[in-house]
Chain A
Amino acid sequence: MSVPRRRLRGIAAAALAAGMVFSAAACSASDGDSGGEGGGGTVVLQYFGSPGFDAAIAAFQTANPDIKVDAQNMGELKDFTPKLNQWLATGQGAGDVVMLEEGTLLGYLETPDKWTNLLDLGAASLEADFLPYKWANGFTADKSKLVGLGTDIGGLAMCYRTDLFEKAGLPTQRDEVSKLWPTWEQYAATGKKFKESPAVKDVAFIDTATAVMQPYIMQNSQTWFYDTNNNYIVESNPIVREAWDFGLQMAADGLTGKLQRWQPDWNAAFANAAFATVPCPAWMTGSIAERAGDAGKGKWDIATIPGGSGNWGGSYLAIPEQSKNKEAAYKLLTYLTGKDGELSSYKEKGNMPSNVKALDDPAFASSTNEYFSNAPTGQIFGASAKSLKPIYLGPKHQGIWENHFETEMRNAEQGKKTSDEAWKTAVADGKKLAEG
């Protein structure tokens, strides 16, 4: 009796010890399986939002059967950012290729040692392929290191619902609609006309006052919260306050839906046709189609944005220095940001290429979007792409915008604070974030 039991106990002790060793080893083993030679092995791709990589990855896999792509959808940008920061800080966990948003990019460029220099992997020859500003923004401040290559850009347009416009007695053809609003003032005036119609009395003209901020500022200024030396200048940048006041005036006139973007109510508002227009960068068309669903198909159309061309958002792909499989990662990165890759994500989710070859390709230039009443999206979005003036965003742009200015502006829009109170809080909190 005692012998077998003792043996059993010995086995249990051994198993326990082994288990502890294994569990300790598991932490370090999980990131070790990507070390392929000659560009093979597994490449982990981490992205946020809806970049439309699925078809491109499938095509890449067919062309490179020795590389396995593990594509990980990390949710929205706000979900991905803290995770990526932790991985960069601890030196493990980040994918071999990660997606960086324009609004957070400069913050990452402040720590160049965390990133692989794409020039070392042979990216120098790709310069002519990209829009000049998109190429230039991927460099660190001293221009010695190329961290990211451009995926999409946010060429601007105005998406609108033809069915609601019709009910309100407004024109529905996209050319006529574009003529309604060459300027933002005329856009707001159209909104007032829209609201006069009793047939759409429960429908807002635009989803939220904060939606006009990005296009308005990006059209009218070269800077936003920061100057190009990364000083916080929002108080001395009149355009920001001008855009703020303009948006809140629209809210005061009852034109806005007072919604919070990217959240369930906003999603549901698409399905319920609760607002008639939304400024839409190219990447937004995919988001609208996802949210408005089949019921909205053919009811949306795309007109030009008031105030001329501009850019809103767009991303980069970069390789963290901690990647153990940089060659294969670079292959995937250059495929996704190459002509075929960008055309594929344009086709899948409407993300507009930053690659000039893709922009010039007939597959983009003459493309239409079936969901948006076959609008000639290639023509609408492409028109401004090559002439647009880039805006300097600064290291913590996205955080200052989302956490403080957007939040406070919404508080003012929803009547929880006066415009001045909200502005003061936003400026002070933004300053703390920018300078902290």
Chain B
Amino acid sequence: MSIDTHAAGAPRHSAGPPPLDPGERRKQARQVRLGRLDLKASPYLYVAPFFVLFAVFGFFPLLYTGWVSLRDWGLIKGDQGFVGLQNFQEVLTDDKFWNAMYNTAGIFVVSTVPQLLLALMLANWLNRKLRFRTALRMGILLPNITSVAAVGIVFGFIFADRYGLANWILQSLSLDPISWRGSRFASWTAIAFMVDWRWTGYNALIYLAAMQAIPRDLYESASLDGASPTRQFWQLTVPLIQPTILFTVIISTIGGMQLFTEPLMFNYGAAGSGSGLENFQTIAMYIYYTTFEGNFKYGLGSAMSWLLFLLIIGFALINFLMVRRSLKGSK
């Protein structure tokens, strides 16, 4: 854009303008000033929406939540005064918080590991010369654009104990029906199905983009050296897209720690009631329950939110270090 203005503006000055009356000259000077301002200021204006939105919906709530977490604040009753770190103390000694923590971490592992592996395979497959390649590539993103609430409701029906599709299939294979909400591992698996159904395609597309950037001749020379496709995949593709894998792991960590809608829908829309909830209540659900469903403890919920925020940062860092080390080792 700047080149353009310059190119268009330059000849006008070099040609030596005819004498102008003072009014015309002032007008021109104003235009030049405006143009200069435009050049300097408009880029900031263009990026401003993000920062304005982030400040309003990201940064301000973060600070405000921090402030609320130090106070005894009932949702309807309002602010009851400063209590220091009492809320944090209460959270850290709360069994249910740690139970929710355990569930969140468990569901994260059960869903993310197969999800990313599957996404890698999918991407590798889509990277080949296939018929209807574009349609297939677009198709795997479809689950991601469906409303998560709709997904939750449908999967809630599939994994219903008595009249659900999953148990119907199990029973027609003459297996015992599973109490999907009754056991920890069964509920984690069911939720992992929902999460993976939605996010595998998304991650696969990211991997695919990274794979497309790998020069073809690398594969050609690998083939000449007699490397099998599997070996090419593990020893060529995976190491070369290492930064992308790292990116998806971190994004998945953040998403996994905040997991809310899928388990909520799995519990038919309630964050804080329902049998067997101790098996799959996530941190985000527990925060929502504490703040909006149970005792309306805004301060306590805020303290949990802050702890979750710190935990996500911690988790992301650990992930970052672990994945980086393991990928370095595999090189």
Contacts and interface: CB of A to CB of B under 8 A. Distances in A.
Interface of A: 1-2, 5-6, 9-10, 13, 16, 20, 75, 78-79, 81-82, 85-86, 88-89, 108, 110-111, 114, 259-260, 262-265, 268-269, 272, 274, 396, 399, 402-403, 406-407, 410-411, 414, 416, 433, 436
A396 to B, nearest CB: 8
Contact of B273 (A16, A85, A403): A403
A272 B268 contact: no
B272 A403 contact: yes
Contacts of A436: 294-295, 297
A16 B34 CA distance: 18
A406 B273 contact: yes
9 contacts: A2-B5, A6-B35, A85-B75, A264-B157, A264-B160, A268-B163, A403-B272, A411-B275, A436-B294
A263 B269 CA distance: 10
Given A264-B157, A416-B275, A85 B49 contact: no
Nearest to A412: B275
Given A2-B4, A407-B273, A89 B294 contact: no
B179 A414 contact: yes
B269 A78 contact: yes
B102 interface: no
A265 B160 contact: yes
Counting chain A CB atoms within 10 Å of each CB, the highest count among B157, B163, B269 belongs to B163
A20 B52 contact: yes
Given A78-B269, A403-B273, A411-B275, 9 more contacts: A2-B9, A2-B35, A5-B4, A260-B274, A264-B160, A264-B164, A265-B162, A402-B273, A414-B179
B296 interface: yes
Contacts of B276: 411, 416
Contact of A78 (B42, B273, B288): B273
Interface in B12-59: 34-35, 38, 42, 45, 49, 52
A410 B273 contact: no
Contact of B277 (A78, A110, A111, A407): A407
A38 to B, nearest CB: 32
A353 to B, nearest CB: 30
Contact of A16 (B9, B45, B294): B45
A9 B76 contact: no
Interface string B265-281: 00011101111110000
B289 to A, nearest CB: 8
A76 to B, nearest CB: 8
B156 interface: yes
Contacts of A89: 75-76, 78, 296, 298
Contacts of A16: 45, 49
A9 B295 contact: no
Contacts of A2: 4-5, 8-9, 35
Contact of B275 (A9, A110, A260): A260
A435 to B, nearest CB: 9
A411 B182 CA distance: 9
A20 B163 contact: no
Contacts of B272: 403
Contact of A263 (B8, B76, B268, B298): B268
A89 B296 CA distance: 10
Nearest to A89: B75
Contact of A82 (B45, B157, B161, B292): B292
B76 A88 contact: yes
A396 B49 CA distance: 43
B160 A78 contact: no
A-B residue pairs, 4 tightest by C-beta: A82-B292, A268-B163, A2-B8, A403-B273
B270 A78 contact: yes
B77 interface: yes
Interface in B138-191: 156-157, 160-164, 179, 182
B180 to A, nearest CB: 10
B293 interface: yes
Nearest to B275: A410
Given A13-B42, A411-B276, A272 B163 contact: yes
Nearest to A86: B292
A264 B163 contact: yes
Contacts of B5: 2, 5-6
A82 B272 CA distance: 11
A323 B322 CA distance: 55
A78 B297 CA distance: 17
A103 to B, nearest CB: 13
Interface string B62-79: 000000000000011110
Contacts of B156: 264
A10 B160 CA distance: 57
A404 to B, nearest CB: 8
A89 B277 CA distance: 27
Contact of A20 (B49, B164, B182): B49
A436 B296 CA distance: 9
